[in-house]
Structure 1
């Protein structure tokens, strides 16, 4: 039997409560509300046994339609309806789960049916109800609350509910993501519900600008670790990477196969993380990445770092490409924070950078590449410092306690440095060539110019290895573009570094920059039959010829001086042979060939007369010359020259094979480098005649390079602040005399630079100076128009002759040599330089630079 009761609208809630609590009524099957204007008709159906039938039958569609119609007709009543249902759920949740499910279904339908402008009246009661469900220990209720919240998060509100806070939901959903229920099925359901809840929180808060920001560190430190925890729990290999699941306008787009992927917590967490990162604005991206890095630190997932690599790659593929540089800079800062940690941790972070930096390199613009390169170089410098400190501490303890961690620690540090260098190379490999040149110049600027200690030498090696890594990715087209002033000068200066390994690295860098036809592997070892190497080469272009005229002399002088540095090994000679061979091939021009022959004969003379070179080193130089002469004979194609080279090599093969390649470290003890017959040496006269027959200036090869083995050249290369030697002095005089427009200042008496003349110049009005200049120009013009050639010669003052200039130069060199006599020079010890001071009045400034 059904009882009907009609009550006024104002007392509807009181009437509902009164009848719901009647003791004589066993139950209320379905409280259906018939919405009419001003009246509610409430129907009750008492049943036997104390149970309500509607908990088994479910929500009745007719009654729900009536309630929905009333809510739509009177939206101002939504808050009261929601409040009443929330009270019923709060009371029934402890013992009547069926009623709770039906009540939540009713609330969900009301939520979806109501208009967006009136929804905020209902939201507060709805969220309170969900909070009660999530606080319930029953997993089914927690899952039910999460599902309702997800439905709510997909609804867009016209009026944001800025008074709402989602702190509880973030905490609760995050804790559900870490559920450890013994039942695997229940644990999976709870974790899935927590992940979907976090996804709903992010969607809801991102779309509402007035809602509390979800990007605060407190929230991100709960959300991100929850996602990463589930990803790591279910990942057995590299994560499958996808592009962003969010369009640029912030709307969600379903990925292909997303529903299938979200069937387990790991794949669902992957989807949620990609969506979270894609929705993050530029200013809040740092907060998300920092939360990730903190989780990786806490769970020690840098060693091994497979999961960390997958996560960072996922981030880089999910965000906009222009933001990828920011991610790499955050990783660099994180590595800097752990610069004092154990080397395995640092190596793991560096390897993550190396594995992912190529993604960021594609969008490198402006100064961002140099910022990343600078960060890597700073880490390399810190690595060198830590390695030096570790070596010092190991050496101090070696006398007392034998340590087994020293060698292993050194290997780990070297591996860490190699990882950073590899990261630098991988980054540069994806940059355009013009940026690679800038990076090489930037790296070269970080190289210590003077190796005054072990740390400087290590730093030189590390920086040059980094530059070599960048150079291997660069393709040279024109030497003038590659060997710019601020690149070639420091590089040539390092050709005379004190350490042989540093000089070898410089040669290897030159190999990569000079080689344009991939001939480097073919020239790795000297050969007497270059025709069999299948070399590729072209004629030298006019731009390269102009470059050689400007820089060729400097390059050959630096390479020649490097040949005679102390401590050169077999590898140094081989590297120099390869460098000179590449120069011959890439700059195949008669002027280059003549200059190369000049260097070869200077090396031959030094190998015969120098007392500072060892026997093995002299034989190495002769072998290098033989290989270079064979290559020049192939390139030049001068018949007389080629015949002479073949004749000398044939005689060496027969009588003195030690004067040919291969280059070795040791030779038989009965061999003497001093008594070499003339027939086994290359003849200057013969080569000069061959060059003259070809129409070249053969006399040029008779001008020897200054002998660097007298001690002055090597000393100057090691002295701080000095980059000149005897050769540079000679070249300077020659370049000044041959350059148009550069003549020593030889003015008249009125033009001599004195104190009075400078004072007069500053005090006199400019009009008077202009008049004097005009009169002077007029007199000069009249002189050239009216005077004869002999009269002009008579007016020219007498100049110093060549003999006087040579005497002046040798006098200066003698004085400099006398100043250095007090210095103790040894091959292994650092130089102890003395400071010489002179009065300002005694300094003689060249006239050329006073104008």
Structure 2
């Protein structure tokens, strides 16, 4: 729950954060652990991460125009703000683009993804197209959209029918957007022809029938072929005539899987990040002066996530050693170890009592003893007599 609150806090901060340089806002040390959360089984966590990415990439307030998925016949009505991709943006995409594509693709394979997930994926794809796209990025995004269509067609992961329809609808909506951003008439014509054919024959492959309160999806998806599908060969042909890289367009997108993807799916964020507070850490000496409270900013929250990632292996190793000790060590050794910790704890408690339980001052501060000498009164707190009105 603490981890989820941290992500929610990070999302709240990024909402008011104005990104100027993507390389500094999303360095590898922050982007890698952030994207790893998209592999979580918890749908809420995955959605939070997608929202954070959308918030950071959106530098021209275009995100509100993509809160829902629909087929827009003319995107000029959206009045989108698009700037030329800067040199820093090109460097960022050259370094991290394949990682972003891979996680977007893998996010489409999650069985418990719902309408908000697909809508946020659509916004993420749209914002990458407007904020970080050069010609190479445009080609890769088109290949990614076609790979998403193939993912829903092959159904190797046995996705529910709704998810398959949702991926088809997401791919169609995005290709409809990107074809208008490229302003290649023949590309737009092919996309619009497929969309019109779907409206007539298979409307459940379009967002208007899928991303609604009561989705209109069939019980099964069979024999989807021909004019209702976007053809990679056709798109390669029409874009190749406009100067795009035909060799790359003709190559199907295949995500570059890593060891992280091959591992079994992690069940919760608690297994990925450990914020276990050790009792021994409380034994550190107190600081003489309290440090001023640190201002909570985007940078501090980003560093907090990065720092906690590194604690995972240490925590697993500590647990392994504890289990091994209690399995293999003799009883006498375990008893001595626990006794030492109890003695240490009792010693700390005694120190605290000595500090907090002090003799109360007398009205004059001292009392007179024989031969004109003075001595301090020493009455423990628990022996003092308090008036009834002071006792609860």
Contact 1:570 1:665 in 2 (8 A): no
In the TM superposition, 1:243-642 aligns within 5 A as: 458-529=1-72, 530-611=75-156, 612-642=158-188
Contact 2:111 2:160 in 1 (8 A): no
Measured in 2, the distance between the counterparts of 1:707 and 1:652 equals: 31
Give the C-alpha shift of residue 667 in structure 1: 4.0
Go from structure 1 to structure 2 and tell me whether the alpha carbon gap of 1:490 and 1:713 turns closer, same or farther (over 3 Å shift): closer
Go from structure 1 to structure 2 and tell me whether the alpha carbon gap of 1:665 and 1:707 turns closer, same or farther (over 3 Å shift): farther
Contact 2:169 2:205 in 1 (8 A): yes
Measured in 2, the distance between the counterparts of 1:669 and 1:687 equals: 28
Correspondence for 1:97: none
Give the C-alpha shift of residue 706 in structure 1: 4.4
Q: Provide, for residues 588-617 of structure 1, a one-character-per-residue CA deviation record: whole Å limited to 9, x for no partner.
A: 321111111111111111101115211111
Q: Provide, for residues 775-813 of structure 1, a one-character-per-residue CA deviation record: whole Å limited to 9, x for no partner.
A: xxxxxxxxxxxxxxxxxxxxxxxxxxxxxxxxxxxxxxx
- The alignment yields a C-alpha RMSD, in angstroms, of 2.4
Give the C-alpha shift of residue 714 in structure 1: 6.8
Correspondence for 2:221: 673
Correspondence for 1:718: 266
Go from structure 1 to structure 2 and tell me whether the alpha carbon gap of 1:479 and 1:460 turns closer, same or farther (over 3 Å shift): same
Measured in 2, the distance between the counterparts of 1:691 and 1:533 equals: 25
Go from structure 1 to structure 2 and tell me whether the alpha carbon gap of 1:669 and 1:467 turns closer, same or farther (over 3 Å shift): closer
Contact 1:601 1:684 in 2 (8 A): yes
In the TM superposition, 1:707-786 aligns within 5 A as: 713=261, 715-718=263-266
Q: Provide, for residues 682-712 of structure 1, a one-character-per-residue CA deviation record: whole Å limited to 9, x for no partner.
A: 000011112211222233242332498xxx9
Is 1:649 the counterpart of 2:198? The answer is: no
Contact 2:11 2:48 in 1 (8 A): yes
Q: What 5-or-longer segments of structure 1 have no aligned partner?
A: 1-457, 722-834, 836-851
Give the C-alpha shift of residue 515 in structure 1: 0.4
Go from structure 1 to structure 2 and tell me whether the alpha carbon gap of 1:648 and 1:565 turns closer, same or farther (over 3 Å shift): same
Give the C-alpha shift of residue 665 in structure 1: 6.8
Measured in 2, the distance between the counterparts of 1:545 and 1:707 equals: 20
Correspondence for 1:114: none
Measured in 1, the distance between the counterparts of 2:89 and 2:256 equals: 29
Q: Provide, for residues 242-287 of structure 1, a one-character-per-residue CA deviation record: whole Å limited to 9, x for no partner.
A: xxxxxxxxxxxxxxxxxxxxxxxxxxxxxxxxxxxxxxxxxxxxxx
Go from structure 1 to structure 2 and tell me whether the alpha carbon gap of 1:631 and 1:653 turns closer, same or farther (over 3 Å shift): same
Give the C-alpha shift of residue 715 in structure 1: 4.2
Report SS of the residue matched to 1:718: coil
Measured in 1, the distance between the counterparts of 2:217 and 2:54 equals: 34
Give the C-alpha shift of residue 670 in structure 1: 4.1
Give the C-alpha shift of residue 467 in structure 1: 0.3
Go from structure 1 to structure 2 and tell me whether the alpha carbon gap of 1:707 and 1:648 turns closer, same or farther (over 3 Å shift): farther
Go from structure 1 to structure 2 and tell me whether the alpha carbon gap of 1:695 and 1:567 turns closer, same or farther (over 3 Å shift): same
Correspondence for 1:703: 252
Measured in 1, the distance between the counterparts of 2:154 and 2:261 equals: 17
Correspondence for 2:205: 659
Per the normalisation by structure 1, the TM-score is: 0.30
Go from structure 1 to structure 2 and tell me whether the alpha carbon gap of 1:623 and 1:669 turns closer, same or farther (over 3 Å shift): closer
Contact 2:187 2:235 in 1 (8 A): yes
Give the C-alpha shift of residue 641 in structure 1: 1.1
Measured in 1, the distance between the counterparts of 2:82 and 2:265 equals: 34
Contact 1:641 1:687 in 2 (8 A): yes
Q: What 5-or-longer segments of structure 2 have no aligned partner?
A: 273-319, 321-392
Give the C-alpha shift of residue 497 in structure 1: 1.4
Give the C-alpha shift of residue 669 in structure 1: 6.0
Go from structure 1 to structure 2 and tell me whether the alpha carbon gap of 1:677 and 1:715 turns closer, same or farther (over 3 Å shift): same
Correspondence for 1:683: 231
Contact 2:39 2:107 in 1 (8 A): yes
Contact 1:606 1:707 in 2 (8 A): no
Report SS of the residue matched to 1:607: helix
Give the C-alpha shift of residue 481 in structure 1: 2.1
Contact 1:616 1:665 in 2 (8 A): no
In the TM superposition, 1:49-88 aligns within 5 A as: none
Measured in 2, the distance between the counterparts of 1:564 and 1:665 equals: 22
Measured in 1, the distance between the counterparts of 2:218 and 2:100 equals: 37
Measured in 2, the distance between the counterparts of 1:624 and 1:580 equals: 10
Measured in 2, the distance between the counterparts of 1:479 and 1:669 equals: 39
Q: Which runs of 4+ in 1 moved over 6 A?
A: none
Report SS of the residue matched to 1:518: coil
Higher mean displacement: 473-482 or 511-520: 473-482
Q: Provide, for residues 174-232 of structure 1, a one-character-per-residue CA deviation record: whole Å limited to 9, x for no partner.
A: xxxxxxxxxxxxxxxxxxxxxxxxxxxxxxxxxxxxxxxxxxxxxxxxxxxxxxxxxxx
Measured in 1, the distance between the counterparts of 2:215 and 2:18 equals: 39
Contact 1:652 1:660 in 2 (8 A): yes
Measured in 1, the distance between the counterparts of 2:65 and 2:188 equals: 22
Go from structure 1 to structure 2 and tell me whether the alpha carbon gap of 1:666 and 1:715 turns closer, same or farther (over 3 Å shift): farther
Give the C-alpha shift of residue 639 in structure 1: 2.1
Report SS of the residue matched to 1:676: coil
Measured in 1, the distance between the counterparts of 2:261 and 2:29 equals: 23
Give the C-alpha shift of residue 672 in structure 1: 3.5
Give the C-alpha shift of residue 528 in structure 1: 1.5
